[in-house]
Structure 1
Amino acid sequence: MKELTNLDRLCVHTITTKPWSIEESIEQYARAGVKGITIWRDTLENRDRRLIRKKIKDAGLEVVSICRGGFFPKATAGERERAIDDNLALIDEAAEVGAPHIVLVCGAEPTISLAQSRHQIMEGISRINSYARDKGVKLAIEPLHPMYADSRSAVNTMEQANDMWEQLNSKNIGIAVDIYHLWWDPHLQDEIKRAGAADSIMAFHTCDWKNPTTDFLLDRGLMGEGIAPIMEIRSWVEDAGFKGFIEVEIFSEYHWKKDQKIFLNEVINAYRQFA
């Protein structure tokens, strides 16, 4: 496996450096030699998205994706329609900013069963897919750790994501593999192979699972700070044929308190050593 001596495949999510505005992120990532940026939707509020697209291009960065769509399951039909409308609006935003795909945090509804949530997820993705395809935007299903099955996502394993992908049967849909959510899965290697054979791996996200952790959402580790087998999982993904960006996505109250220029350098060093 080729060592990452340069930053050609490094993508940083704007949530990783949350204290920065989208403009600051663009400037600082480019200055540090980062080549890819994944945009979190909130950073585009009150912005001219086409102007942001130009700023990214002029800085020599590539838009890798936009986060996040989904959250399809709801208790009422009206809420489900509003979720569809919100995803359709996000597809427009993705097209305007030049994002090739949207990461779908598929959602879950605690007042209904997991089976019902998964049915509504399938229905929701099916309803927005043709519009996304017409806009040139793909959809990446991201399985989340089972601890989020109550309200964030009823898609919790690569096997479930693969099964869903097969049923949806669209080349405009793929899967985002996120180490934080999947490192524990005993079937992960086989399911990554399965996704690779279908050419459905659309994204690869990395960070680390800290032990002990202070928060299951806002205490993700910088690569090398935790116990996830990052290099091994990266090798599985690449053996499965994925050659895209390696995306660093870290939610961390601890790291957000730092000088973000220092933290970005730490991200780059950790990427070179562990990702």
Structure 2
Amino acid sequence: MDKLVSLQSFVRVVEQGSFAAAARAIGQSRSQVNRAVVALEDDLGVQLLNRTTRTVSVTPSGRAFYQRAKAILTDLDEAEESIRENQEKPAGDIRINAPMSFGTLHLGPALVDFARMYPEIRVELALNDHFIDPVADGFDMTVRISRPTETLALIDHEIIPIRRVICASPDFLHKNGEPTDISDLATLPCLHYGNLPGGSTWKLTGPNGPVSVQVNGVFCCNNAEVLRDAAIAGLGLVELPTFIAGAELQTGRLVTVLCNYTPPEIFLYLLYPPSRQLSSRIRLLVDFMHDRFGGQPHWDLVQ
């Protein structure tokens, strides 16, 4: 039996949850779908699905194989799309993963504009701050804000550096005094990001090189927008990316301090499988991201 047909049948059974639903989805009979999956299991020498009279579940081997099979079928679809020269309008689905704060503040509104520009492209945006493997989790593209990591399995496409600053509200500085040395962070109230491996240790680069300081952490959270709002309320000093604090820095609700000390450089960049490079809609999205966020970011234009 054609292995491609077997792969398509198996993937549809996993996604649909039953042989009958998979058969309806691909326009074949239930027995045809069952034979295709059985042939695939015989060829591999492993059981991919557990079958009872009422339910179908995926075995551990089947779950692992599903991820690879899904990627193969997606790659095939992308390759076919890349040679359709007569396609008048970009069309299809794009599944995007991005961090929560950047997604809500900047990427979400940008993708609304992208969807208006290309109405035939269906955009699915999933926001969370957990590490995501674009291939294993079925995403066409992942937007990251961190230090890029080299991987042969993914294309790493840098857009812009992301600047971070230490800042506080004018009211806080009036009541507590402005820090004049990095050692002041050990006594003045500080707000820190709860997901950082270093906890309340801030790593900075100053006039004499890298330095680590154990700050006086009085409040922590794994969401930088909450930390921004706490800083505006006068709760303490905070280290924030300017894409989150930019508007408040521009209006004076937050003020930068210790400007001679900078956190390690991070970047806004895109990750996607090499095969997606062939997709016209992915190329459009990459170009759009460069146009929207490349160069001098709008959140840093006025200080």
Whichever of the two has the greater Rg, that structure is 2
Shared fold (TM-score greater than 0.5)? Answer: no
TM-score computed with the length of structure 1 as normaliser: 0.24
